[in-house]
Amino acid sequence: MKLKLTYLFVMLGLLAVSCSDDDDDPVAQLNIPTEYISPDFDTNVTAENTVIGELSTMTGAANDAESNAQTTTVAAIPYPSTLSSVTLPSYRALIEDWLVELVKSANDDDGFQNPGAGTPAAGEEGGLLGSRLLDENGLELEQMVQKGSFGAALYNHAINVIENGDLTDPGTIDKLVEVHGTDVNFDPDNTTAAATYSRRRSNQTTETGFFYDIRTALITARAAIEAGSAFNAERDQALADYLEAWEKSNFATVIYYCNATKVQLQAAGDDEAALGNALHAYAEGVAFAHGFRGVSNKIITDAQIEDVLEGLLAPAGQTPESFRFLNDATLIANLDAIIDDLQTIYGFTDTEVNSFFVNDPE
C-alpha cells in the first residue's frame, strides 16, 4: 500500500510540473510604442512626397485661376504626371476635362449666370459668383480636382501600397503616413491633403477621433512588421483600421459640407458672395464623395455613393445641376437625407454626427 501511494504522489507531482510548465509558457505580446519612429522616413516616402507636392501645385494653379478670373488671361493648368499615374483611371479622365473647363470659366468675360428654372445658355462657360469660380452648371471645379483626388489618387495609392507593397518592410508603412498627408511626428498642426480633414473631424484636446485612430493604426502596423511574422494578423488588422478611419473621416467630411451648405444657403439671401460660399461648401461635399467612387477596399458601395451624388444633383457621368440649389429651397431636404444615409451606412451616433458639423470639435 505504501508503495502504491508513493507511486501516486510521484505521478501527481509530475503532472503538476507538466501543467505548471504549460501555464508558464510566455505568450508573445506586441510591444506598441507611443510614437511613430522611423529614422529613414524621408528616404522611404520619395514617391508619396512627390504625389502630395504635385497635388499642391495643381491646386495652387487652380486657386490662381480663381483669383485671376475675368481680370487676367489664365493659362492652361497641367495635370502632373506622378499624381496622374496613381489616380483611378475613371477619375483621371474627369480631372483632365475639369482642368480645361476651369480655365474656360476663368477666362470667360462674364460672371456666373444663374440659369434659374432653366438650363445654362448655349456657349456659357461659367464665371465668378462672389469670389468663387463656378462652371456654367454651378459646380466649383477646383474642389473636384483637389478634394476628389484625396480619394481617387491618395486613398487609391494607399490601397495599392497595402495590396502590392512589401509588408515585411517597416518602411512601407511610412508611405501610408505620407500619402495620408501627415509626417513622422503626426503633428496635427502640420497636415496637408486628407490628413487636414481627418484632423478636423478629431478632438485635439482629448486626442481622439479619426486622425488619432489613423496614428494608432500606423504605429501598430509598423511595430508588428518590426516584431516579425508572428504578428502578421496584428499588422493586417491595423492596416484595415487605417483604411476604415480614413474612409470614415472622408464621409464624415461629406456630412460636414452638407450641413455647411444648408446653413449657408439658408442665411445667404440674395448676397452673391454668400451664395458663392455656399456653393463652394457644396462642391467640397460633391468632391469628397465622388473621389471614392470606383476605389476598392471600402465600406460604402459605389451604388451608395451614386445615391449621394444624385441627391447632390451631380450624378456620375451626367451634367450636374448644381445651380438648382440656388433656386429651390426644397432641395435642402436632399442634404438632410444624405446626412441620414451616411449616418446609417457608417453607424455614426447622433453625437458623432453633431460633432462632424464643426471643425476640431471639443
Please write the tens of the pLDDT for every residue from 130-174.
999 999 999 999 999 999 999 999 999 999 999 999 999 999 999
Assigned domain for 182 exists: yes
What pLDDT, on the 0 to 100 scale, is given for residue 173? Answer: 98
Q: Which residues contact 186 (CB under 8 A, 6 or more apart)?
A: 36, 177, 211, 215
Domains: count for the chain: 1
Assigned domain for 103 exists: yes
Assigned domain for 3 exists: no
Q: What is the mean pLDDT of each run of 10 residues along the chain (362 residues)?
A: 38 42 64 97 98 98 97 97 98 98 96 96 96 98 98 98 98 98 97 98 97 98 98 98 98 98 98 98 98 98 98 97 98 98 98 98 88
What pLDDT, on the 0 to 100 scale, is given for residue 19? Answer: 45
Assigned domain for 109 exists: yes
Assigned domain for 10 exists: no
Of 83, 87, 95, 92, whose CA–CA distance to 47 is shortest?
83
CA distance 79 to 98: 10
What pLDDT, on the 0 to 100 scale, is given for residue 224? Answer: 98
What pLDDT, on the 0 to 100 scale, is given for residue 28? Answer: 83
CA distance 248 to 250: 5
Assigned domain for 89 exists: yes
Range of the domain at 114: 41-356
C-alpha triplet 280, 134, 83: angle, nearest 5°: 80
Assigned domain for 110 exists: yes
What pLDDT, on the 0 to 100 scale, is given for residue 362? Answer: 82
φ and ψ at residue 126, rounded to 5 degrees: 90, -170
Assigned domain for 23 exists: no
